[in-house]
Chains A and B, each alone.
Chain A
Amino acid sequence: MAISAKNDPALNDDAEGMSYLNRLPRRLVTVYLPLAVFVFVLIFPFYWMAITAVKPNHQLTNYDQYSPFWVVEPTLDHIKYLLFETSYPGWLWNTMLVAFGSTVLSLAASVFAAYAIERVRFTGSRPAGLMIFLAYLVPPSILFIPLAVIVFQFGIYDTKLALIFTYPTFLIPFCTWLLMGYFRSIPFELEESALVDGATRWQILIKVILPLAVPGLISAGIFAFTLSWNEFIYALTFIQSSENKTIPVGVLTELVRGDVFEWGALMAGALFGSLPVVILYSFFVDSYVSSMTGAVKE
């Protein structure tokens, strides 16, 4: 390695390319140190969340006698309180139901739309693709007031259905856009030979395109699921009763009360609300990253 160079590093350097720039002391300052700082700052809030969730109340604010960064005698009291004395399990169930329902609904609609735009090439398929992209740019924070009125008119105010029907407004454009990219990468020849063999468009979609687009469907599904899991403003606006709330809304509106904050329970709630998406994410990191960057790269 170049690190062991004795007198003139340039002479002894038999490494390739620009690795002469990559000596350890230099890399320590330019790469590892900043990376360590970044990772520390980005991860610390999660550590803080976790450590607070298991800290007994008397240690929580007593920084003089107990080091705040560590916990002696961790307790499960906050978690027990959360699971058995609040509506938290119900919110967890609601969030899952809503995220699952809206993801399935959006994926189904998006597969057809993306296939039509990308492969059927009907008159106006290009404007339709553009419209989908523009729809992706419409932010929920300018839609929630009129949507609240509409949800009320449809009689689904304060039901999970309100969320399942409104989340696709941002999921469908996203999924369609992503799937269009996937469909584009599937060679035309496959469809053509299926057409020659007498397959209908429907059969081609079901038997040729969809099996090939499974990675894309997984990516879109994972991302859509996390997006709906994380959604807040619609859930805050359209849901009133405690038993229909999702986790982000429930934790914020029901666990935060008065001036005495139950930081332990609050952090436990935040931790458990994050865990499902984090677990899902850790299994499908590559799908997640590819859908995130795929949507941006276009």
Chain B
Amino acid sequence: MSSYTSQKPRSRVADMFQSKNAMGLMFMLPAAVFLICFLTYPLGLGVWLGFTDAKIGRDGVFIGLENYRYLWDDPVFWTSVFNTVVYTFVASVLKFVLGLWLAMILNENLPFKSFFRALVLLPWVVPTVLSALAFWWIFDAQFSIISWSLMQIGWIDGPINFLGDPTNARISVIAANVWRGIPFVAISLLAGLQTIPPSLQEAASLDGATSWQRFRLVTLPLLSPIIAVVMTFSVLFTFTDFQLIYVLTKGGPVNATHLMATLSFQRGIPGGQLGEGAAIAVAMIPFLLAAILFSFFGLQRRKWQQGGQD
């Protein structure tokens, strides 16, 4: 064809691409400015602060790995790492098991189904700090309603020291975290369960599958992609938890419930050691990545679910 016809569309196309990019950029600008100013930049600044001895009201100087070397020899830091891992692991497993169970119950033909769904989600909606205050009162050393009830039944003789004893405190904060996390897992998994066609269950039961087999071989594999995502988020929330611990124990007794996030806050803000606090926060990142990768890829859809070999 002549150069006239081939040139004109090309220039128009180029023109459109340019304006498209210009427009895309313009539309992205507000979000981008915000996220760069208050997310990307702080993330970088946090890493930098971890290498300095910054304190509140004083810019730090670069001290290399000094903060990390100090933390390496700090038993409190290692306690917090241990606590965070245990807390995340136990709470996530419990949340998953109980949440899946609740989701399967809610997936039955229930009267007032939407009412129950709304009710069950309440712990997730209410501000964590405020519900944690209720738990603080429930876990009171003297007037705990749980202790009182158990004493009435006759299972225990005296009130349980929920938050004053290291082991009890760990169990208590995990219980409170699980309480708050179950609704999220349950409602998300319920949404996933509702996408599984009932005909598959019926077919399996005609083939003689027991209800356990139907659950393990039909429901679970079909649910696993959404389980992967839900649990990734759940692990992320649990690992970086701060509010619950801050309200219930502030890390005590004797640092038994300090998580990395609460330790980072304690050293960084009230303690004034911004550099050290930032270093603890940065130390969370590899654990966080590992946890996310594990729960994401560990639970990803497998080949055998699509008929191939694993």
Q: Which A residues fall within an 8 A CB radius of B?
A: 17-18, 21-22, 27, 31, 34-35, 38-39, 41-43, 45-46, 48-49, 52, 60-61, 63, 68-69, 105, 108-110, 112-113, 115-117, 120-125, 128, 132, 135, 137-150, 165-166, 168-169, 172-173, 176, 201, 226, 229-230, 232-233, 236-237, 247-249, 251-252, 263, 266-267, 269-271, 273-274, 277-278, 281-282, 285, 288-289, 292-293, 296-298
Contacts and interface: CB of A to CB of B under 8 A. Distances in A.
B222 interface: no
Interface of B: 17, 20-21, 23-25, 27-32, 34-35, 37-39, 41-43, 45-46, 49, 54, 98, 101-102, 105-106, 108-110, 114, 116-131, 133-135, 137-138, 142-143, 145, 148, 179, 182-184, 187-188, 191-192, 198, 201-202, 205, 211, 226, 229-230, 233, 236-237, 239-243, 246-247, 261, 264-265, 268-269, 274, 277-278, 281-282, 284-285, 288, 292
B188 A31 contact: no
A38 B120 contact: yes
A123 B34 CA distance: 21
8 shortest interchain CB distances as A-B pairs: A122-B24, A116-B27, A139-B240, A113-B31, A248-B129, A141-B261, A293-B191, A146-B42
A161 to B, nearest CB: 12
Contact of B117 (A63, A138, A289, A298): A289
Contacts of B108: 22, 27, 31
B38 A139 contact: no
A296 B226 contact: yes
| Residue of B35, B108, B242 with most partner-chain A CB within 10 A | B35
Nearest to B267: A145
B116 A39 contact: yes
A42 B183 contact: yes
Contacts, number: 285
Nearest to B194: A293
Contacts of A35: 102, 105-106, 110, 116
A233 B131 CA distance: 15
A274 B38 contact: no
| Residue of B122, B205, B226 with most partner-chain A CB within 10 A | B122
A149 B55 CA distance: 10
A106 to B, nearest CB: 8
A34 B105 contact: yes
